[in-house]
Amino acid sequence: MAQENIQNNYTDENIKTLEGVEHIRRRPGMYIGRLGNGESQGDGIYVLLKEVVDNSIDEFSMGFGKTIQITVTEKEVSVRDFGRGIPLNSVVKATSILNTGAKYDNKVFKKSVGLNGVGVKAVNALSSRFYVESFRDGMSSYADFSEGNLLDSGQRPTKEKNGTLVRFTPDENMFVDYTYRMEFVESMVKNYSYLKKGLTLNLNGVAYKSENGLLDLVNDNISETPLYQPIHLVGEDIEIVMTHGNSYGENIASFVNGQNTRDGGTHLAAMREAISKTLKEFYKTNFKKDFAPEDIRQGIIGAVSIQIQEPNFEGQTKTKLGSTYMFETDTTNPDGTHTYEKGPTIRSFVNDFVKTNLDNYLHIHKDIVPVLQEKIMASEQERKEISTIQKKTKERSKRTNIYNRKLRDCKLHYNDKLPAAKKDMAELTSIFITEGDSASGTITKARNAETQAVFSLRGKPINCYKESRKKVAENEELNLLINALGVEDDTADLRYNNIIVATDADDDGMHIRMLVLTFFMKYYPDLIRQGHVHILQTPLFRVKNKKEVKYCYSPEEKEKAVKELKTGVEITRFKGLGEISSSEFVDFIGKDMRLDPVKLSDKESISEIMEFYMGDNTIDRQNFIREHLRSEAELEDVNI
C-alpha cells in the first residue's frame, strides 16, 4: 500500500525545470564551493569577488584596459575595468543565462581564467542586488537584478570610457552574517598585480602594481633570509622563481592564467620534478654528486605561473589544476568530421623550460653553485640520520604492537588510487590527533570508520621549537605520528586530507594543542599552508531542559541558550572530550563538524611565531596571556 501511494504521488508535477540561475541558488556548493561568512579565505564571498575581477583580468590579458578599480566595503563590492565592455545587446544574457559567454570562443579569450559561461552568473544568482553596466563607444547598456531576477535594463548615451562596471551585494540569506576581511582581499589583489605586469589595480584608493612579476611576490613575502638571490626565469607562457632557505618543507606558490592554485596541480608537480631533475643532472655531471630529489627540494621557496588554453580545474573554485596538456582543440571540419589537436604536455613543457634555463643560469651565476650544494648536502645528511632512527622505531613498534594501539585507521585514504566515484570521499578523510585513552575511545566509537582515523598521543609531546630534527625523530610519539600520516619521505604522500587536532578544552589540552601545532609549523609547514591542518571545536557546555538540548561553544552561546530554554535549565560544563558520550559526539564530528583552519601566510615568519608562543617566557607573552585569558569562573558564570 505504501509503495502504491509513492507511485501515485510521482506525477508530472514532480518534474521540475530550474529556470535561469535558480539552480545556482539551490545548489551553490556546485559553483562556488562552501558559502561561509568571510572568516576563511576560501569562503564564497571571495569567490564571487574573484569571478568578477577575473573577467576584468581576462580583458587586460587580451590587451584591453590597464587599470581595474575595485571598491570593497563590509557588504558591497564594485569592480570597474576599462576593457572592451560586454557587447551592448548581450549584457542581460551574458550575466544571467548559464552556459553563455565569449570564453567559449578561443579567438576572443585565448587564456582566460573565469568560469566559462558560469562565473558572473553565480555572482548574480547569489547576490541580493547585482548591477552591471557596459560602456562601448558612447553608449551604455545596464541591467539590475535581485537574486538573479531581472528588475530593470536598458541602454543610454554615456561619456564614460569603454569597459564594464559590476556592483553586487552578496545575499545575506545565503552568506549569513558575512563580512569581507580586507587582508584576504588585499592578498588576492596583490597576487593579481604580481602576475600581470603593467596592470594597476586600485583597491579602495590604494594602487597595486608590480614591475618584476613573481620575483616581487617572492621577495615581498619571504619570511627568512634566502641562501642566495632568487633565480628568476621567464619564458613564453611560463615564469618561475626559486631560492632556498633553512626552514623545512617546500613553500612554492602556483598560478594558472592568473588564478592562485592553492592546492597545486599538474604544473606544480611538473616544476618540483623539473627542478629536482635538472639540479640532480647538473651536480652529477659537473661534480660527480648524485643527490636525491627530496634533498634538493628541502627548504625550497618559490613560485610558478603558466598560461594555458582552457584550463581544467579540479572543483569549481579552481584551486587545483587538473589539465594534462598546454592546449587541446576540437575543430569541426566543413564535412562534419572533427580534427583533434593536443599541445605539449604541461609536464614536458615545464621540464624542457627548466632544464634549459636553470642549467644555463647556474653556468653563468657560478657563485650560487657551492651555496646550493652545501644546502643539499646538509639536507641529505640529516635525512639519512633520521631515516635510520625512524626505521628502528618502526620495527620496535611493530614488535611491541604499539602502532596498532595508537592508530585506529580508516578504510579509505587520501592518496589511494580511487575510482572517480570515490574521489570526493577521499576529500573527507580525516585523522583526529588526540590525547589519552578516554578521548580517543570516545572519538573512535563516534567516528565514521570509512573516512575518519584516530591517533592517540600519550601525554604531552616534546616542544619541537628548540629541538633538532634528529631529536624529534628519536621521540617515539612524534615518529609514530609521522608514520601514521605517511609523510616520512614526502608530504605529497599524506594519507588524510584533514589533520584535526582534538584536545580537551582545559589548560593541559590547550598546551598539548600548542605542542602539536609547533611540530607541524616547524617541520611540516607545507601541510598548514595547503590547508590540511585544523583544530576541532567541541562544545564547552550542554544546556538542556526537559524538552530540548542545546550544545554551546562559547559563554555567549550558553547565555543565549539559557534565555531561550527559560525554565528548568541544567548546565553541564565539558572539560574533557572523554566526558562527552560517544552518542553525543557523533554530532560534533559529522557533516556539521566545526573546524578552525590553522592558517599561515607566506610572509609570516614561522620562527618569530614559535619564539613568541613557545620560546622563553617574555614580558610580551605574559601581557598577551593576561589580555586574552578567560578564567574558569568567567566561563561558568551565567545569569539564569
Cβ-based neighbours of 287, under 8 Å, separated by 6 or more: 373
Q: What is the pLDDT of residues 535-544, one digit of tens each?
A: 998 888 999 9
> What share of the chain has pLDDT > 90, as a percent?
41
Average pLDDT over residues 231-257: 92
Residue 92, judged by CB atoms within 10 A of its CB (0-12, 13-18, 19+), counts as middle
Residue 218 pLDDT: 92
Using CA atoms, how far apart are residues 50 and 317, in angstroms rounded to an integer? Answer: 10
Confidence of residue 616 (pLDDT cuts 50, 70, 90): low
Average pLDDT over residues 79-103: 81
Cβ-based neighbours of 174, under 8 Å, separated by 6 or more: 25, 28, 35, 44, 126
186: three-class secondary structure by DSSP? helix
Element (H, E) at 426: helix 420-426
448: three-class secondary structure by DSSP? coil
- DSSP string for 63-112: T--SEEEEEE-SS-EEEEE-SS---GGGHHHHHHSTT-SGGG-TTT-TT-
Residue 30 pLDDT: 74
Closest CA to 486 of 446, 457, 455, 521: 455
Residue 105, judged by CB atoms within 10 A of its CB (0-12, 13-18, 19+), counts as exposed
Q: 441-444: long-range contacts (C-beta < 8 A, 24 or more apart)? A: 441/578, 441/582, 442/577, 442/578, 442/580, 442/581, 442/582, 442/585, 443/502, 443/577, 443/585, 443/589, 444/408
Please give the biggest Cα pair distance in the chain: 85
Evaluate if residue 67 carries a pLDDT over 80. yes
Residue 201 pLDDT: 97
List Cα–Cα distances, 57 to 26, 69, 79, 192, 196, in angstroms. Answer: 29, 11, 11, 8, 8
Q: What is the pLDDT of residues 145-187, one digit of tens each?
A: 999 999 999 999 999 999 999 999 999 999 988 999 998 899 8
Beta strands of 523-631 (E only): which ranges? 533-536, 541-544, 549-552, 570-573, 595-597
Q: What is the residue-averaged pLDDT of the chain? A: 83
Residue 97 pLDDT: 77
Evaluate if residue 565 carries a pLDDT over 70. yes
438 or 390, higher pLDDT: 438
Residue 606 pLDDT: 61
Residue 303 pLDDT: 95
φ and ψ of 115, to 5 deg: -65, 120
- Helix, strand and coil in the chain, % to nearest 5: 40, 20, 40
Evaluate if residue 438 carries a pLDDT over 60. yes
Q: And the C-alpha cell for 542?
A: 550542554
Residue 352, judged by CB atoms within 10 A of its CB (0-12, 13-18, 19+), counts as middle
Inter-residue contact 141 to 91 (CB < 8 Å): yes
Confidence of residue 590 (pLDDT cuts 50, 70, 90): confident
Domains of the chain: 22-208 (3.30.565.10), 214-332+339-381 (3.30.230.10), 401-538+574-604 (3.40.50.670), 543-566+612-640 (no CATH)
Residue 2 pLDDT: 45
Using CA atoms, how far apart are residues 244 and 74, in angstroms rounded to an integer? Answer: 39
Confidence of residue 618 (pLDDT cuts 50, 70, 90): low
Residue 74, judged by CB atoms within 10 A of its CB (0-12, 13-18, 19+), counts as exposed
- How many CA atoms lie within 13 Å of 588's alpha carbon, on the beta-carbon side? 27
Using CA atoms, how far apart are residues 234 and 255, in angstroms rounded to an integer? Answer: 14
Evaluate if residue 333 carries a pLDDT over 60. yes
Evaluate if residue 428 carries a pLDDT over 90. no
Beta strands of 147-287 (E only): which ranges? 149-157, 163-170, 200-203, 206-208, 231-235, 238-244, 251-256, 259-260
Using CA atoms, how far apart are residues 473 and 246, in angstroms rounded to an integer? Answer: 18
Residue 634 pLDDT: 52
Q: What is the pLDDT of residues 92-140, one digit of tens each?
A: 988 887 655 444 444 444 555 544 445 788 899 999 999 999 999 999 9
Using CA atoms, how far apart are residues 239 and 258, in angstroms rounded to an integer? Answer: 11
Residue 103 pLDDT: 46
Closest CA to 464 of 393, 386, 520: 520
Inter-residue contact 170 to 37 (CB < 8 Å): no
Using CA atoms, how far apart are residues 130 and 144, in angstroms rounded to an integer? Answer: 6
Inter-residue contact 461 to 516 (CB < 8 Å): yes
Average pLDDT over residues 519-542: 88
Using CA atoms, how far apart are residues 567 and 317, in angstroms rounded to an integer? Answer: 47
Cβ-based neighbours of 19, under 8 Å, separated by 6 or more: none
Residue 252 pLDDT: 92
Residue 18 pLDDT: 44
Inter-residue contact 213 to 234 (CB < 8 Å): yes
Which stretch, 110-124, 470-484, 544-558, has highest mean pLDDT? 544-558
In one-letter notation, the amino acid at residue 475 is N
Inter-residue contact 452 to 409 (CB < 8 Å): no
183 or 418, higher pLDDT: 183
Element (H, E) at 26: helix 22-26
Evaluate if residue 420 carries a pLDDT over 80. no
